[in-house]
Amino acid sequence: MGHSLLCMMGFFLLSTVICGNDEDHTTHSQDADESEYQSKEQTTSAPPEPTVTLQPSWTQIYSGETVTVRCEIQGGEGAQWTYEWRPAKLNTPPKSSEYRISNAAECDSGEYSCRGKRDSSWTKWSDNITLTVLSPPKPTVTLQPSGTQIYSGVIYSGETVTVRCEIQGGEGAQWTYEWSPAKVNTPPTPREYTITNAAESDSGGYSCRGRRGSPWTEWSDITTLTVLSPPKPTVTLQTPWTRIYRGDRVTVRCEIQGGEGAQWTYEWRRGQVNIRETSNEYRINRFNESDGGGYSCRGRRSSSWTEWSDSTSLRVTVPTKPTVTLQPSWTQIYSGETVTVRCEIQGGEGAQWTYEWRPAKLNTTPTSNEHRFTVTESDSGGYSCRGIRDYLVTEWSDIITLTASYKPRPVLTVSPSWLSPGASVTLNCQVEHPSAGWSFYWYKAVPDLSEKSSSYELLPDGSGTAQDSYIIHGQTHTAGYVCRAGRGDPEYHTDHSQPKFVWSADVHSAASLTVSPDRVQHFTSDSVSLTCEGNFTEWRVMTVPPSDPSYYYNCWRMTGSTCNIYTSKSDTGVYWCESGSGEFSSAVNITVQ
Ligand SMILES: *[C@@H]1O[C@H](CO)[C@@H](O)[C@H](O)[C@H]1NC(C)=O
Ligand SMILES: *[C@@H]1O[C@H](CO)[C@@H](O)[C@H](O)[C@H]1NC(C)=O
Ligand SMILES: *[C@@H]1O[C@H](CO)[C@@H](O)[C@H](O)[C@H]1NC(C)=O
Ligand SMILES: *[C@@H]1O[C@H](CO)[C@@H](O)[C@H](O)[C@H]1NC(C)=O
């Protein structure tokens, strides 16, 4: 256009105006034909007015571009004008109607106006036109995914993205663009470039530059596009337990690794059946059998779907009836023993059950599946429990019965009753309700005359034997024995048994009992004296009546070391002496007829 205008105006002289230290860059042209032209009509009509125009008409020019300023005098066509310019630097002769500023510099910015002279009279000055020369802007490359928000330059293959070259302040002009990588430069090189069905090979750095006059802008910074293959989602179960019971509230979540920040749409299916759910979570308020199956999901954030996740299988676990166990598991519990009752739900591990107990006195801590207590007789009875979780209540367990008894007293038997040389003695300790878990303690009785009883001395290796019998070798004189039993942790002990004896008939031992008259058979109303002999100062005579071998008595008619009996049938029994220093004498079996 500039060129055709120059042609219309005939020919031009070129001169230069210096802008700052720049090299010559402004030319002006002037009509060389100075012929005077006057129009009467024009002198009588309105005075001609000058206008400054810019070609191209952009008021913002980038340095290096070319712009032409022209003084046009409206109504003055055909006349021979002389021009004057502001700024005055344009007035270096010859004064031209038109200046071409090629390779514009920032110092060319300013207000431009002109006036014309004809017949020695000047027109008025034109309005100012503002020319702004800027350094060219730096373009930027933007990435615009279709529909959804891009996530830090990352899209998934198959998606669509538009790469656009933005030149700030360059609107309205006809720009030409150049792209890097060059594959985008298919002519006419566009401002934006849409990559449909992106592939991983579209990943990379994009930059652009533009021009609308002669020079290019500088290259934009590189904007990186990353095309990833879409991630595979996973379905996760959002419950703290892995088992699902009927009635549970269950949430499954579709997780897309690395897909955070993007706006996804989800699709769900159970087996091959689609579920009406488009969010990343699928909730089932009361899970039942018909909700069971393999759940999978996939996501979409523009046009392309991720692949389907692997399927996560959900199904109803049928809760088993709980079981109550008693620890220790003895059927007979004695008062004073410590027991633990425990409620067990098979397959209920990991779930947050609370427990309900019968009897209700155990429900003080409802979440506890076990109770430990020291048994009294009032704890006898049936124990059962059930589990509760959300809406779910299991059946009651079978009842386990706890029978608490009084502290037992074991019964000791000693065999044989009479010592024979070389034979061993076997002790046997029987607990009233024999049940598992007992260990046994074996003692020797030591007579204690001041206490009118005996003290007990543990036999060698007689502490806590698993066997309920104990064998003694080489016993040569009368001895008394006691046992008791213990079990549990802390150990619970029975009472001591009644003492039992093995008797020696050997009258030549260190201590002996002699009978006068010297026979074993006596008749009622006989006067019989029993005398303790040996190197001891204090004695008592003891007897065990055959009618009740669990009792034994001491003679209450002692004179010195002699007991005098006026016999009756009830005096039948085995007699022996016990010394004040803990010795037993030989024994005699007396029958009264
Ligand atoms: C035109 O611009 C010049 C230089 O900046 C200024 O001195 C003058 O006042 C302006 N004229 C008008 C009419 O704005
Ligand atoms: C499971 O729940 C659904 C929805 O609440 C109900 O329609 C269906 O009958 C239930 N199925 C069973 C077996 O309880
Ligand atoms: C009786 O005991 C005394 C003192 O311990 C002792 O000196 C004496 O030898 C003992 N006699 C018999 C027969 O054992
Ligand atoms: C005592 O003697 C009688 C008669 O001989 C006998 O029946 C009984 O078993 C004996 N008692 C003991 C403990 O040996």
Q: Tell me the residue ranges of DSSP E strands in 321-408.
A: 323-327, 332-334, 338-344, 354-358, 370-374, 381-389, 392-393, 400-405
CB atoms within 10 A of CB 164: 20
Rounded Cα gap, residues 151 and 226, in angstroms? 10
CB atoms within 10 A of CB 342: 18
Q: Up-side HSE of residue 193: CA atoms within 13 Å toward CB?
A: 23
Pocket residues: Cβ below 6 A from ligand 1? 111, 113, 128
Rounded Cα gap, residues 352 and 240, in angstroms? 8
Lowest mean pLDDT among 47-56, 93-102, 347-356, 482-491: 347-356
Write out pLDDT tens, residues 426-456. 999 999 877 778 999 999 998 887 766 678 9
* Residue in 290, 316, 318 to alter for ligand 2 test, most ligand atoms within 8 A of Cβ: 290
> H or E element: which one contains 265?
strand 265-270
- Say if 2-21+43-134 and 512-592 have the same CATH topology: yes
Considering only CA atoms, which residue is closest to atom 2 of ligand 1? Answer: 111
Ligand nearest to the CA of 534: 3
Answer yes or no: is pLDDT of 21 > 60: no
Tokens, residue 526: 């006989």
For ligand 4, say whether the CB of 572 is within 6 Å of any of its atoms.
Answer: no
CATH 2.60.40.10 fits 140-228, yes or no: yes
Write out pLDDT tens, residues 359-383. 988 888 767 889 999 999 899 999 9
Report which ligand 2 atom has the smallest distance to the Cα of 289: 13
Mention the CATH class of domain 2-21+43-134: mainly beta
pTM: 0.50
Phi-psi region at 5: left, alpha or beta (left = phi > 0; alpha = psi -120 to 50): alpha
Write out pLDDT tens, residues 227-275. 888 889 999 998 777 778 877 889 999 998 877 666 789 999 999 999 9
Report yes or no: 131 and 145 within 8 Å, Cβ to Cβ.
no
Answer yes or no: is pLDDT of 473 > 50: yes
Considering only CA atoms, which residue is closest to atom 8 of ligand 2? Answer: 290
Nearest Cα residue to 219 out of 311, 147, 158, 140: 140
Answer yes or no: is pLDDT of 56 > 80: yes
Mean pLDDT of 292-305: 87
Considering only CA atoms, which residue is closest to atom 6 of ligand 1? Answer: 111
Compute, in angstroms, the gap from residue 86 CA to the centroid of ligand 1: 9
* Residue in 128, 130, 132 to alter for ligand 1 test, most ligand atoms within 8 A of Cβ: 128
Tokens, residue 198: 């992106």
Rounded Cα gap, residues 548 and 545, in angstroms? 6
At 185, the pLDDT band (50, 70, 90 cuts) reads low
SS3 90: helix
> Among 3.40.50.10680, 3.40.1450.10, 2.60.40.10, 3.40.50.300, what is the CATH number of 234-314?
2.60.40.10
Ligand nearest to the CA of 126: 1
CATH 3.40.50.720 fits 512-592, yes or no: no
Tokens, residue 116: 């014309």
Report which ligand 4 atom has the smallest distance to the Cα of 589: 1
Mention the CATH class of domain 411-502: mainly beta
Domain ranges of the chain: 2-21+43-134, 140-228, 234-314, 323-403, 411-502, 512-592
Nearest Cα residue to 506 out of 404, 565, 586: 586
3-state secondary structure 107-144: HHCEEEEEEEEECCEECCCCCCEEEEEECCCCCEEEEE
Residue type, 498: Q
* Residue in 244, 283, 285, 288 to alter for ligand 2 test, most ligand atoms within 8 A of Cβ: 288
For ligand 2, say whether the CB of 289 is within 6 Å of any of its atoms.
Answer: yes
* Residue in 521, 589, 590, 591 to alter for ligand 4 test, most ligand atoms within 8 A of Cβ: 589
% of the chain surpassing 70 pLDDT:
86
Report which ligand 4 atom has the smallest distance to the Cα of 520: 2
Mention the CATH class of domain 323-403: mainly beta
Write out pLDDT tens, residues 352-361. 788 999 998 8
For ligand 2, say whether the CB of 272 is within 6 Å of any of its atoms.
Answer: no
Considering only CA atoms, which residue is closest to atom 9 of ligand 1? Answer: 128
Q: List, as one string, the DSSP characters of 386-436.
A: EEEETTEEPPPPPPEEEEEEPPP--EEEEE-SB--TT--EEEEEE-SS--T
For ligand 2, say whether the CB of 290 is within 6 Å of any of its atoms.
Answer: yes
For ligand 2, say whether the CB of 285 is within 6 Å of any of its atoms.
Answer: no
Rounded Cα gap, residues 457 and 2, in angstroms? 134
Report yes or no: 293 and 313 within 8 Å, Cβ to Cβ.
yes
C-alpha R_g of the chain: 61
Phi-psi region at 474: left, alpha or beta (left = phi > 0; alpha = psi -120 to 50): left
Considering only CA atoms, which residue is closest to atom 7 of ligand 1? Answer: 111
Ligand nearest to the CA of 533: 3
Lowest mean pLDDT among 139-153, 167-181, 566-580: 139-153
Nearest Cα residue to 372 out of 396, 345, 343, 342: 342
Rounded Cα gap, residues 420 and 505, in angstroms? 9
For ligand 4, say whether the CB of 405 is within 6 Å of any of its atoms.
Answer: no
Rounded Cα gap, residues 166 and 141, in angstroms? 6
CB atoms within 10 A of CB 294: 15
Termini Cα distance of the chain: 163
